[in-house]
Amino acid sequence: MAEKKALLLVGGWDGHQPELVAKRFSTFLGESGFEVQLERSLDILQDREYLFSLDLFIPIWTMGELHSKLTNHLADAIGSGVGVAGCHGGMCDAFRTNVLWQFIMGGNWVAHPGSDGVPYRVHIKHSSSELTRDVQDFAVCSEQYYLHVDPAVEVLATTTFPTVDWYHSTNGVVQMPVVWTKKWGYGRVFYNSLGHHDDVFDIPEAWTLMKRGLLWAAEGKRIAQEQGVSIDRFASDRKMF
Domain-embedded: residue 136: no
b vs e for 8-29, b when ≥16 Cβ sit within 10 Å of the residue's Cβ? bbbbbeeebbbeebbebbbebb
Residue 1 in this model has a pLDDT that exceeds 80? no
Domain assignment present for 35: yes
* CB within 8 Å of 37: residues ≥ 6 apart: 5, 6, 7, 8
Beta bridge partners of 45: none
**Residue 226: inside a domain:** yes
pTM: 0.97
In a domain, 99, yes or no: yes
| 28: CATH | 3.40.50.880
Q: Does the residue 132 lie in any domain?
A: no
- What pLDDT score does 241 carry? 81
Spatial distance between the Cα atoms of 15 and 93, rounded to a whole number of angstroms: 13
Number of domains in the chain: 1
159: confidence class by pLDDT, cuts 50, 70, 90 = very high
Domain presence at residue 45: yes
190-241: pLDDT as tens digits: 999 999 999 999 999 999 999 999 999 999 999 999 999 999 999 988 888 8
Domain with 200 in it: 4-109+177-234
CA-angle at 148, arms to 135 and 207, nearest 5°: 25
